[in-house]
Amino acid sequence: MLKTTSRMLTAMALIAGVFGFAPAQADAIRVGKAVPEAFSFVPLDVGIRQGFFKKRGLDVESIAFAGDAKMQQAAAAGSIEFLLGSGPALGYIAKGAPVKGIAAMAGPPLLLAIAVRPDGPKTVADLRDKKVSVSTAGSLTYFLVSETARRQGWGPKGIDIKPMGAMPGQIAAMKRGDIDGAIMDIGNALNLEKMGEGRILVRFLDIKDFHIHVIFGTDKVIAENPKAASAFLEGWFESIRFMRANKAQTVKIAAEVTEKDEEITGRVYDELMPMFSDDGRFDAKALELLSKSLVELDILKTETDMSKLYTEAFLPK
């Protein structure tokens, strides 16, 4: 019986070869990162290297951008299928961007800090009318600098915000004195402190009800390949579970991706792992804050129905 079964399987394999049948190939999926150096997006690299996406039939390519706006442009052009972006980027959907939020990736904005030169402003009160760089207008970094000004009672324009693109250029401008500070991921900020070239002035630890990051899928991939959306999120959340359980391996991967030493990356791991969501569910209070902020920042003219900007249909059951 076993020999008969073996012969049948061999025959089927030969027939498949003759008629050109082949095993199903993995879906080629392009995933955008809003910025290249942030620890927030390391779960993508972990999932690729550990094979969490591959085993679900996805061949994932990671593509980094210089801010949410440029990544949204790439999505509109059909250059990527999934986007790892910011909560405020939900506002692009209300303005017609062909994407939808498919998972709340992370909550409080623990990732970011405003850094200044060692001889720069001493307190947050000293930032009034000072020049602080961000990645792009309408981005998460733009929102948080504006929110800092608003919370100080200066209004959302109380700090002179300078969209400047990629982080290396912002850091160089700060060192030259062209700007007074820059909002950046905590890894870059800690690295500047370690080298004696900067100082962390502002953290955003008091903002609790928030979605710092959201995973987006394009309308095209959602309509034409919904299985890929579900498979991508399954791989993503397996990556989060792996990271929580394997600090040393995660730090090693993250240090390579973010180009920081492992001592700094280990500190970043401890700071940021609590912000990651384990299930991707959207929070009503966080969405309410985002809705109000999009109006205050003139991204939208009026508050919008946030429920139309996302779906939880592809989250792991």
Q: What is the 3-state secondary structure (H, E, C) of the chain?
A: CHHHHHHHHHHHHHHHHHCCCCCCCCEEEEEEECCCCCHHHHHHHHHHHHCCCHHHCEEEEEEECCCHHHHHHHHHCCCCCEEEEECCCHHHHHCCCCEEEEEEEECCCCCEEEEECCCCCCCHHHHCCCEEEECCCCCHHHHHHHHHHHHCCCCCCCCEEEECCCHHHHHHHHHHCCCCEEEEEHHHHHHHHHHCCCEEEEECCCCCCCCCEEEEEEHHHHHHCHHHHHHHHHHHHHHHHHHHHCHHHHHHHHHHHHCCCHHHHHHHHHHHHHHECCCCCCCHHHHHHHHHHHHHCCCCCCCCCHHHHECCCCCCC
- pLDDT given at position 3: 44
Please say if the pLDDT value at position 140 is more than 70. yes
Confidence bin at 137 (pLDDT 50/70/90)? confident
Confidence bin at 300 (pLDDT 50/70/90)? confident
- pLDDT given at position 24: 54
The residue ranges of every structural domain in the chain are: 27-109+210-309, 112-203
- pLDDT given at position 19: 42
Q: What percent of the chain has pLDDT over 70?
A: 92
190-235: pLDDT as tens digits: 999 999 999 999 999 888 899 999 999 999 999 999 999 999 999 9
Please say if the pLDDT value at position 15 is more than 50. no
CATH superfamily for 27-109+210-309 is Periplasmic binding protein-like II (3.40.190.10)
Identical fold between 27-109+210-309 and 112-203: yes
Mean pLDDT of 155-168: 91
According to CATH, the topology of domain 112-203 is D-Maltodextrin-Binding Protein; domain 2 (3.40.190)
Mean pLDDT of 69-92: 93
Mean pLDDT of 80-86: 96
Mean pLDDT of 257-276: 94
